[in-house]
């Protein structure tokens, strides 16, 4: 399980990192809201632990932005705010749980386990879900795509790319974001490989005379949608 911890107080984040790592979780740490948002959008995490008050962007702002991108990763807030209004604000922003400082580490770990179990159960329930955009459908269980009901033969990398696009419809995805998702840092190919992969995917999923689905944003990246 992979966790993102966003907290600017090293006296709290350092021991939390050690405890979570000792429990067997892979933990990334960000000390400001801007970096935390970037990491959350670029990588797949099973849980986000966000401090409410952060430099550059608050935990509340991070949560709202992630939910606006349809990311459903569970969010646990760490906060000194404990009024009813604060709790409502956090839940309305899309948080799943919160714990008020100061707290016992064993209570935090119990909440982490509960959120991860809930997330795993939801993934199991939705494991047969299909991603759809108009007459384009991606069957995640069987790793096959359909357009107008006709099966499309896609490679593993094309499936990964199409899923990445379909889960982030209408959002600008930079070249770096796509590279980081498809390839590990030490395995990233030359820049023209991504362009070639995009061309192949376009040929397979786009139909002549129909509106394009993969839109090039020159100098920046790509946007997927109608």
Q: Whose structure tokens read 């960000």? A: 30
- Please report the pLDDT score of residue 97 as a whole number: 86
Long-range contacts of 97-100 (CB under 8 A, 24+ apart): none
Q: Whose structure tokens read 């970037």? A: 38
Q: Which residues pair with 214 in a beta bridge?
A: 224
Q: Determine the Cα–Cα distance for residues 13 and 130; give it in Å rounded to an integer.
A: 38
The region that residue 160 occupies, defined by phi over 0 for left and psi between -120 and 50 for alpha, beta otherwise, is alpha
Closest CA to 131 of 70, 85, 187, 77: 70
- Please report the pLDDT score of residue 184 as a whole number: 77
Closest CA to 71 of 167, 171, 173: 167
- Please report the pLDDT score of residue 127 as a whole number: 47
Q: Determine the Cα–Cα distance for residues 187 and 183; give it in Å rounded to an integer.
A: 6
Q: pTM for the complete prediction? A: 0.55
φ, ψ (nearest 5 deg) of residue 99: -135, 135
Closest CA to 89 of 138, 194, 98: 98
Judge whether 73 and 94 are in contact, CB under 8 Å. no
Domains with residue ranges and CATH for the chain: 2-125 (3.40.50.2300), 130-224 (1.10.10.10)
For 168, the 3-state DSSP assignment is coil
* Omega before residue 102 within 30° of 0, cis: yes
- Please report the pLDDT score of residue 104 as a whole number: 87
φ, ψ (nearest 5 deg) of residue 52: -70, -50
- Please report the pLDDT score of residue 101 as a whole number: 85
- Please report the pLDDT score of residue 123 as a whole number: 56
Judge whether 119 and 74 are in contact, CB under 8 Å. yes
Q: What pLDDT tens digit does each residue of the chain (226 aa) get? A: 899 999 999 998 999 999 999 999 999 999 999 999 999 988 888 899 999 899 999 988 999 888 888 777 899 998 887 666 766 777 777 888 888 888 888 899 998 998 888 766 655 545 457 888 888 999 888 889 998 888 998 888 999 999 999 988 888 999 988 988 888 776 767 668 888 999 999 999 998 877 789 999 998 999 998 7
- Please report the pLDDT score of residue 188 as a whole number: 66
**What's the token pair of residue 108?**
């935090």
Judge whether 3 and 46 are in contact, CB under 8 Å. yes
């Amino acid at each position: 399980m992979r966790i993102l911890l966003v907290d600017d107080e090293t006296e709290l984040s350092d021991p939390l990192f050690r405890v979570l790592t000792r429990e067997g979780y892979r933990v990334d740490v960000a000390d400001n809201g801007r970096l935390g948002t970037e990491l959350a959008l670029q990588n797949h995490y099973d849980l986000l632990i966000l401090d409410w008050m952060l430099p550059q962007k608050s935990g509340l702002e991070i949560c709202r932005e992630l939910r606006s991108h349809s990311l459903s990763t569970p969010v646990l807030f760490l906060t000194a705010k404990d009024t009813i209004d604060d709790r409502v604000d956090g839940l309305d922003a899309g948080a799943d749980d919160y714990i008020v400082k100061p707290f016992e580490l064993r209570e935090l770990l119990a909440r982490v386990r509960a959120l991860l179990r809930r997330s795993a159960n939801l993934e199991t329930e939705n494991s047969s879900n299909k991603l759809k955009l108009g007459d384009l459908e991606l069957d995640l269980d069987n790793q096959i795509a359909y357009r107008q009901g006709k099966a499309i033969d896609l490679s593993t990398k094309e499936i990964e790319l199409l899923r990445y696009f379909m889960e982030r419809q209408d959002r600008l995805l930079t070249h770096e974001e796509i590279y980081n998702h498809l390839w590990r840092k030490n395995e990233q190919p030359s820049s023209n490989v991504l362009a070639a992969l995009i061309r192949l995917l376009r040929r397979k999923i786009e139909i002549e005379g129909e509106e394009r689905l993969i839109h090039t944003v020159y100098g920046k990246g790509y946007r997927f949608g109608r």
